Amino acid sequence: MKTKLNGWLAMAASVALAALSSVAHAQEKKTVAYLAPSLDISYWQWVGFGVKQKAQELGMDYVEFTSENSPAKQMDNARTAVTKGVDAIVIGPVSSTSTPPLLAYLKSQNIPIAFAGIGPQPGQTDYTSSVTANNYETGKAQGSFVCALAKERGGNKVGMLSLPQDRENAQKYLKGAQEAFAADGCKLAQMLETRGLTVNEAVTQANDMLTAHPDIKAIYGMYDEAGTGAAKVLETRGLTGKIGIAVADGSPTTIGLLKAKAIQGIFFQEAVGQGIDGTQQVFNALTKAPVKKDLALVMPLVTADKIDSPEAKAVIARVFPPSK
């Protein structure tokens, strides 16, 4: 009887030990959640790739949620993630203004959060880190580059295919570009804002812009599809190279166009890099390591003649996944 009791006790002890060990293991292995505004845009997939890559490197588990461009869904996702027991969040928010209630909630749950791509609403401080592109400085640099392209082609008028100007990043791009145009002696003949972010829309807009302003000598594309659309229009009109194009963001498509000299420069936005850096910052917060609160990454310019250089390849590795 005593032997039987000992057996039961031994079994119970081993079960308890196993349970404790599993709890300890679960406590050791942290989980990071990536909240994307939507995954139908490559950019946010690439940020997710960066988060996942860095999480694996740091020994963290990775889960992913998509907010379908809804602030309410974004909030629901944050709550679900916390309920699932995630330790940290990297978020590409639906918008800067959608984040204050989410930040208040995560603060109450003591969950570190890093922004990627789009930053928090100005004035907010309850976040761990914000990793964004320096849109103002990029706008300025791209504006100077576009102005130089126009002047090389014997004019000073430039056109712009813009992101919607209700976005903070678009406003910063524009402000920087306008300052550069003014400083360098160029004139912004027309700016058209996208609604759908599609190549087809950019083609229509570039066509209409060049019809209204045939003296435009360079085009400033504020997003990747704008560059693809503008290049298509110039090809159709037999103006490839005669009107310069510089584009922000970068993708395999625009890199192909850069190599074909259909566009002259890409200011790469490091989508993968933002995911990597955001994950590193929340990991630092979890491990009590120093955290950088605001990281405004420069968007490096790559021109056609340098696209195959090791530096350019290093930049591109932080833009989109290698297999893409």
Partner 1 sequence: MTKTIIDQAGTGVETRPAIRTRESLLSTYRTELAIAGAIGLLVLAVGTQVPQALSWGNFANITQAGAPLIIMSLGVLLVVITGGIDLSVGSVFSLTGMVTAQAMAAGFGGVSAALVGLGVGLVFGSINGFLVTIAGLAPFVVTLITFAVAGSLAFIVTNGRSMPIGDPDFWLLNSGSMIPGMPNYILFCIVLLVAIELFLKKMVAGRWFYAVGSSAAAAHLLGIPVKRTQFFAYVASSLLASFSGLLTISYILNAESTAGSSLMLQAIAAVVIGGASLLGGTGTAVGAVLGALMITVIQNGVNLIGINSFWQGSVTGLAILIAVLIDRFSKSRRGAV
Contacting positions for partner 1 (CB under 8 A): 39-42, 45, 164-165, 190-200, 203-205, 207-209, 211-212, 214, 225, 228-229, 232, 236, 251, 253, 256, 324
For residue 299, how many C-alpha atoms fall within 13 Å in the half-sphere facing its CB?
27
**CA 94 to CA 173: how far, in whole Å?**
19
Nearer to partner 1, 21 or 198 (CB): 198
Q: Token pair 């405004």 is at which residue?
A: 296
DSSP symbol at 37: S
Nearer to partner 1, 71 or 256 (CB): 256
Least Å distance, CB 41 to partner 1, is 7
Least Å distance, CB 227 to partner 1, is 12
Nearer to partner 1, 58 or 197 (CB): 197
Least Å distance, CB 308 to partner 1, is 19
Any residues with CB less than 8 A from the CB of 302 and at least 6 apart, and which?
Answer: 250, 258, 265, 266, 268, 312, 315, 316
Any residues with CB less than 8 A from the CB of 285 and at least 6 apart, and which?
Answer: 88, 112, 128, 129, 291
**CA 312 to CA 324: how far, in whole Å?**
16
Least Å distance, CB 289 to partner 1, is 34
Cα R_g (the chain), whole angstroms: 24
Nearer to partner 1, 103 or 199 (CB): 199
Least Å distance, CB 321 to partner 1, is 10
**Cβ contact 240:210 at 8 Å:** no
Element (H, E) at 54: helix 42-57
